Amino acid sequence: MFEEINAAGVGVVARNDRGEVLAAMTERILIPDSVVVLETLAARRAVQFALEVGFLNAVFEGDSETSIKAIQHQAFLYCPVGHIVRAIWSFSGSFKRFSFSHICRQGGVLADALVKRVRMFSHFLVWMDSVPLDHYNGYLADFQEFQ
């Protein structure tokens, strides 16, 4: 979250089963009420992005255990992010297969680097079959974790 500009960043990296980047995006959004809301909004944006680029099978990974558990358990009621979780499950019906899993922080180096990019650059950027050259080291770090 970037309080000085009243914004937060969302970064999404789509990979194939070998860990190669198929698509990536970053987007600036208004700063949400909490980190859990931000992480759940990021999950919703990842689902939307996967549909936009035409994926039919997807594994969604996130580093917020609270958000991922809310999504996995379809926590619609009594949850501050219930309305976002409901939207995620609504979008997810368009996939043939999908799952949500929690990863530790170091598994999302590239996505974190893309998020930081929105502080200085455009509100919305997309890369297909590539990553920005200045984030190639983050790609390699994630790729090695994937192997």
Give, for all 147 residues of the chain, the pLDDT tens digit: 667 667 888 888 888 777 777 888 888 888 888 889 999 999 999 999 999 999 999 988 888 889 999 999 887 766 889 999 999 999 998 999 999 988 875 556 666 666 676 666 667 777 777 655 555 455 445 544 544
Fold adopted by 3-146:
Nucleotidyltransferase; domain 5 (3.30.420)
Angle of helix 109-117 versus helix 136-146 axis, rounded to 10 = 160
Distance (Å, rounded) from C-alpha 99 to C-alpha 114?
A: 23
Of 104, 103, 100, nearest to 88 by C-alpha is 100
Whole-model pTM: value is 0.79
Q: Are 96 and 56 in contact (CB under 8 A)?
A: yes
Distance (Å, rounded) from C-alpha 122 to C-alpha 100?
A: 28
Pairing type for strands 21-30 and 124-128 reads antiparallel
